[in-house]
């Protein structure tokens, strides 16, 4: 409000901290401690005021502050910033953060009457959080499912109302399996959010994808959310001589083996899955690798690959769907081409290993071997055919049993003798840089990594399958999946 004075006018602004949100969306952060205003027009005026308990014009709870600005009558354009620090010596401290702002606000001040105008402060995003995606499963499509996008100011408060600049959403999935839409009462343009009341939705075609990164950006603030498809987990239960399946959000025995695979296994020990959904099971009784084509639920459609194995452990799928498997009895790591059905087309890679029991392969074709007798984890670079090019990774293991590789190049290890799961970061060649993740395991023997970066652990001694989310370093954040197994020897993720 502006009161009439002959020599000028006084503009009165009342600010409630935090703002009370009504029909006009606006945002004043609970962390607001100062206000900077610049008037351009009949006279140019810049002023900064404190908005803290005890400051002139401030009282009550919630805090209400009345600010008076002396102006000459006339027309002005106002720019205002609410900040998280009060001015010191008439100036806002250099480290203060802008929490909300307004720009280009037209103000007219007249003598002899009260002058009323409205200011709408928009929140300034410093970070964006994206989560709350719906469950998605391969083969099941859905459309227009909402997810959450929360903009936070520099002090971590969720912004309510409009944003100082729109949040623009983008979808990292290039297959066309997912699409983003936005809507709201303010009719935001496609892919944008103008205010906290707008709703983003995601649609999914049901295609088999590892996931999509959904990104939100507003000025320099960015945020990422991972939309993923809940893919099947394969579990080798050696005592019951089966390979069970479950979705990766299954947390009880009731949802295990909804889609049984294969049949006729003797002593199944390891399982791997290719991008098409075909499973490859190492079978100790037949000393072979058994291919279970996608959709195969009986022994009749199982195909024996390779040959000449003495005993094998946890296998992996390499480039061109070659199966990489340990041959424990022959102290070797062997590669079985996709169409190989005899010992004649099986080749050895990387030289000799005393007791190889687990193997994993990354996207570059590098193989990683858990060698139980030597208590080491080895890397066989793609194309390496002898021990001369084999590298030793990490250290401090006691009977390493299984390995897996995540998308960031970390090698995860079931440290069977220490009843632990450990992570070897890229470039780590000693025990000093090995990190223990999760907790509460007993003789773990199976290991895989899903598209979310979760470690899926066959906790053999406890007869369970467990999920270790990223950045989980204790048993408190470990999730138990499925149930009802006799002996979990290996796990794989589609």
Tell me the β-bridge partners of 41.
Answer: 76
Assess contact for 318 and 347: CB atoms under 8 A: no
Show pLDDT as tens, one digit a residue, over the chain (494 residues): 233 333 467 778 888 898 865 545 578 999 999 999 999 998 899 999 999 999 999 999 999 998 888 888 899 999 999 999 999 988 999 999 999 999 998 888 888 766 666 677 999 999 999 999 999 988 899 999 999 999 999 999 999 999 999 999 999 998 899 999 999 999 999 999 999 999 999 999 998 787 789 999 999 999 999 998 888 999 999 999 999 999 998 999 999 986 679 999 999 999 999 988 899 999 988 888 999 999 899 999 999 999 999 878 899 999 999 999 999 999 999 999 999 999 999 999 999 999 999 999 999 999 999 999 889 999 999 999 999 999 999 999 999 999 999 989 999 999 999 999 999 999 999 999 999 999 999 999 999 998 778 999 999 999 999 999 999 999 999 999 999 999 999 999 98
- String of b and e for 151-168 (b: at least 16 CB within 10 Å)? bbbbeebebbbbbbbbbe
E strand spans, 318-390 = 323-327, 332-336, 347-352, 356-361, 367-371, 376-380
- Give the position of tokens 């900077």: 36
Computed on alpha carbons and rounded to an integer, the radius of gyration of the chain in Å comes to: 31
Compute the half-sphere exposure of residue 120: CA atoms within 13 Å on the CB side of its CA: 13
Q: How far apart are CA 428 and CA 260, in angstroms?
A: 39
Domains of the chain: 2-122 (2.60.40), 127-227 (2.60.40), 232-493 (2.120.10.30)
Give the pLDDT of residue 312. Answer: 80
Q: Could you tell me which of 471, 347, 458 has the C-alpha nearest to residue 404? A: 458
Q: How far apart are CA 121 and CA 162, in angstroms?
A: 8
């Amino acid at each position: 409000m502006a009161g009439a004075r002959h020599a000028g006018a006084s503009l009165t602004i009342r600010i409630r901290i935090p703002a009370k949100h009504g029909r006009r969306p606006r945002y004043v952060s609970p962390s607001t401690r100062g206000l900077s205003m610049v008037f351009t027009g009949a006279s140019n005026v810049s002023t900064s005021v404190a908005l803290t308990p005890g400051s002139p014009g401030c009282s009550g709870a919630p805090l209400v502050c009345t600010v008076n600005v002396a102006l000459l009558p006339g027309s002005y354009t106002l720019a205002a910033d609410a900040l998280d620090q009060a001015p010191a010596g008439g100036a806002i401290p250099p480290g203060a953060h802008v929490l909300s702002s307004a720009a280009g606000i037209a103000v007219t001040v007249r003598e002899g009457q009260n002058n009323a105008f409205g200011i709408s402060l928009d929140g300034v995003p410093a970070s964006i959080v994206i989560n709350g995606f719906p469950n998605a499963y391969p083969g099941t499509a859905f459309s227009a499912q909402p997810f959450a996008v929360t903009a936070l100011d520099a002090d971590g408060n969720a912004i309510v109302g409009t944003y100082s600049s729109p949040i623009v959403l983008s979808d990292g999935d290039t297959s066309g399996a997912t699409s983003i839409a936005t809507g709201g009462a303010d009719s935001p343009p496609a892919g944008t959010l103008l205010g906290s009341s707008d709703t983003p939705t995601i649609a999914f075609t049901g295609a088999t994808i590892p996931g999509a990164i959904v990104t939100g950006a507003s000025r320099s603030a960015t945020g990422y959310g991972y939309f993923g498809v809940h893919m099947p987990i394969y579990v080798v239960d050696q005592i019951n001589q089966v390979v069970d399946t479950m979705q990766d959000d299954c947390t009880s025995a009731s949802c295990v083996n909804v889609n049984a695979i294969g049949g006729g296994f003797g002593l199944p020990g390891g399982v791997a899955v290719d991008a098409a959904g075909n499973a490859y099971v190492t079978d100790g009784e037949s000393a072979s690798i058994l291919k279970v084509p996608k959709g195969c639920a009986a022994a009749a459609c199982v195909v024996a690959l390779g040959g000449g194995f003495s005993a094998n452990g946890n296998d992996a799928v390499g480039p061109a769907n070659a199966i990489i498997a340990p041959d424990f009895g022959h102290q070797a790591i062997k590669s079985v081409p996709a169409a190989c059905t005899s010992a004649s087309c099986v080749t050895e890679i990387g030289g000799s290993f005393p007791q190889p029991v687990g193997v994993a392969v990354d996207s570059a074709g590098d193989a990683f071997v858990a060698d139980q007798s030597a208590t080491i984890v080895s890397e066989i670079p793609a194309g390496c055919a002898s021990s001369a090019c084999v590298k030793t990774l990490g250290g401090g293991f006691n009977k390493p049993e299984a390995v897996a590789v995540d998308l960031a190049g970390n090698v995860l290890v079931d440290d069977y003798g220490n009843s632990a799961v450990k992570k070897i970061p890229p470039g780590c060649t000693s025990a000093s840089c090995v990190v223990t993740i999760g907790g509460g395991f007993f003789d773990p023997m199976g290991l895989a990594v899903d598209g979310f970066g979760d470690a899926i652990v066959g906790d053999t001694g406890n007869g369970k399958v467990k999920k270790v989310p990223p950045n989980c370093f204790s048993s408190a954040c470990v999730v138990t999946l499925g149930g009802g197994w006799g002996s979990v020897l290996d796990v794989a993720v589609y």
